Every structure is written in structure tokens, then in C-alpha cells.
Amino acid sequence: MTERTIRTERPWSWKRFFFQWEWLLVIIFILIHVVNSTLSPYYLNINTFIRTPQSFLDKAFIVLPMTFVILLGNIDVSVGSTVALSSVIMAVAYNAGLPMPLAIVLCLAVSTACGLFNGILMVKYKELSAAIITISTMTIYRGFAYVILEDQASGGFPEWFSFLGWGNIAGFPVMLIVFTVCAFLFWILLHKTTFGRSLYGMGNSMNACRYSGIRTDRVILIVSLLTGLMAGFTALFLTSRMGSTRPNVAQGYELEVIAMVVLGGVSTSGGKGRIIGPILAVFIVGFLSYGLGLVNISAQVLLIIIGALLIVSVTVLNVRIRKRKKKIPA
């Protein structure tokens, strides 16, 4: 043993602790509440925080796996179509006589299959970019939804199905509870397991992982599968809230979801960011739109604000990375 020893702990640094993107998100989050409460005297109320999320949490389920996708340096724009297809198939199957519990299972099965299909294409045809593959499947899945239901609505679900989107358990919305559980599971998966570690590694250097014996194809398949599954969750909650479905539901969800992930500080080049950021971003965007609703500003303005936030976040994050890369030359 030599005398010099590499230390296994590093001193606590306030810079490292406070110079994190997530703190900025927390500040924005608080600011939004401050602004909202000045707009409406009834805003600051515990009920606001518990009830409001019901209005925006449906797409948040996809934000979780989309974080994984973007950490890998990939992108998936087919999720909105996946939601539509699985929702439509569930409605049509139910109206054709399938019992609702089985229709729900079918919905999740279809969405998972959609995700897995993306994954298989990505693994089989590595020369194609994930963007191209999912743009194709985006139109395919949406196309199938239209073929199955044509331009109609389908609904008439049993009474208890609306419980998913509207109901409460012990005073908390079902949706919020399920989302919290899912978020927790995804957090564990990403930050505590070997799977999460491989994911980060692959986002940073696919080749280094391959040469280190990581089963990279398997990781990609699992991520795609999870993306599909969570799109199925979104389909369930969305359909439950609306009471019926059409082939054009969840249009544009993919972009909103990707925007939230990027706003959450996940680098689009892969490998950087934590899941807490996108989760915060979900609530920021959600409460922001709620606040705009309070002062009767249309949803289109929200798009402008989200766009501006995105540009800010991407610029700030990139400047930070560029600064770090400015190393002293040897």
C-alpha cells in the first residue's frame, strides 16, 4: 500500500449545493404562487394545491419515462398518438362488449406494445435516429386510431370509471396519489438502481457502456416499454376525465411533455439531469396555466410563456456546461 490515498468523500461545498438548476425551478415555482395569490384572494388555500393538479396531471405520467428517453439522448414524439390509440381501442372494445376492467388492461397492453415496437425498431435499426422512428410511428398509431373509430367520439363508460379522473381517496385525488407513487418509483429506478446508472452511462457514452458489458439494447427496450406503459396511464386518466374519447385526443402532448423535461434541466444531448427537475416543471407549467386561467388569459399565451421558459432554460444550462468545458489546456 502506498502512502497516498484517494479520498472517498468530498467536502461540502455551498456552491455545488446551491448552483443547481432545481433551485431555480423551486424559485420559479414559488414566484408563480406569489403572483397567482395576488391575482385571486381565494388562491392561497390548501384545496388549490390538492385539487388543481387534477387538471394537468394526466400528461405528467409520460414526463417520467420521457426523462429516461431524453437522458439516453433519444426522443419520443409518438407518445401522444400512443395515448390516442390505446384510449380509442379501450373505448371501442368496451362498447363492443368487453368488460371495463379488461378494457383497461387492453388499453395498457396496447400502449405498452406501441412503446415496445418503437424500442424494437430502435434496437434493430441503430442507424435510424429515434426522432425519425417515432415520427413514423406517431403517424402510424394516430392513423390506426382514426381507422378504428373514424372521426367520432366513443364513450358511455361505467360510472365508476370516472372515479379515476375525478375521485378522491382520503381527501386526495386518485390521480395525484397514483402520480406520486409513480414518480417515487421512477425516482428510485433512476437514482438508486443499476438500471438507472446504466441509463446515465449510455446517455454520456453509449460506446463506453457497450465496451463495459452493459446490455444496452435491453436498457433501450425497457425504457421504450415504460414509455408505452405510462402513455397508457395517461390514456386512462385522460379518458376518465373526459368521459369519452376521439382519435384526435392528446394531440401535441409529445411536445408539451418534452418541453417539461427540458425545462426540468435534462440535457437533450443526454446523460445530464435528474428526475426531480421535470417533476417540478410539471407543477410549474400546471400552476402557471391555472394562474393564467384566473385572469382569463387564453391558453395560447401559455404556449408563448412555455416557449420563452424553454429558451431560457436551454441557454442557461448550455452556458453552464460550456463554462465547465473551458478547461486549462495542457
Partner 1 sequence: MSEYILELKGVTKDFPGVRALDDVHFNVRTGEVHSIMGENGAGKSTFIKIITGVYTPDAGEIIYNGKPAVIRNTLDSQRLGIAAIYQHVTSYPDLSVTENIFIGHEKYNPYTRRIAWKELHARAAELLGQLESSFDPRVRMGSLSIAKQQIVEIAKALSVNARVIIMDEPTAALTNRESEELYKITENLKNNGAAVIFISHRMVDMFRLADRVTVFRDAKYINTWNRDEITHEKLVKAMVGREITQYFPKRNVHIRDEVLRAEHISRLGYFRDISFSLHRGEILAFTGLVGAGRTEVCEALYGITQYDEGHIYLDGEEIQIRHPKEAIDKGIGYLPEDRHGHGLVMDWELFKNISLALLEKFSRWKFIREDDEKKSAQELGDKLEIKAGTVFDKANTLSGGNQQKVIVAKLLTADLKVIILDEPTKGVDVGAKTAIFNIMGELAEMGYGIIMVSSEMPEVLGVSDRIVVMKEGRISAVLNTEETTQEEILHAALGEKKKVISHAE
Question: Would you tell me which residues interact with partner 1 (CB under 8 A)?
Answer: 1-2, 4-10, 192-198, 201, 204-205, 207-215, 271, 327-330
Shortest distance, position 115 Cβ to partner 1, whole Å: 21
3-state secondary structure of 41: coil
Shortest distance, position 320 Cβ to partner 1, whole Å: 13
3-state secondary structure of 98: coil
Shortest distance, position 219 Cβ to partner 1, whole Å: 12
Shortest distance, position 210 Cβ to partner 1, whole Å: 7
Give the separation between CA 51 and CA 104, rounded to whole angstroms: 25
Choose between 168 and 205: whose C-beta lies nearer to partner 1: 205
| 154 bridge partner residues | 245
| 173 bridge partner residues | 168
Shortest distance, position 209 Cβ to partner 1, whole Å: 7
| 245 bridge partner residues | 154
Shortest distance, position 23 Cβ to partner 1, whole Å: 21
Angle at 30 between CA 300 and CA 192, to 5 degrees: 100
Choose between 4 and 296: whose C-beta lies nearer to partner 1: 4
Choose between 25 and 190: whose C-beta lies nearer to partner 1: 190
Give the separation between CA 308 and CA 262, rounded to whole angstroms: 12
Say how many CA atoms lie within 13 Å of 251 toward its Cβ: 10
Whole-angstrom distance between the N-terminal and C-terminal Cα of the chain? 30
Angle at 82 between CA 78 and CA 83, to 5 degrees: 120
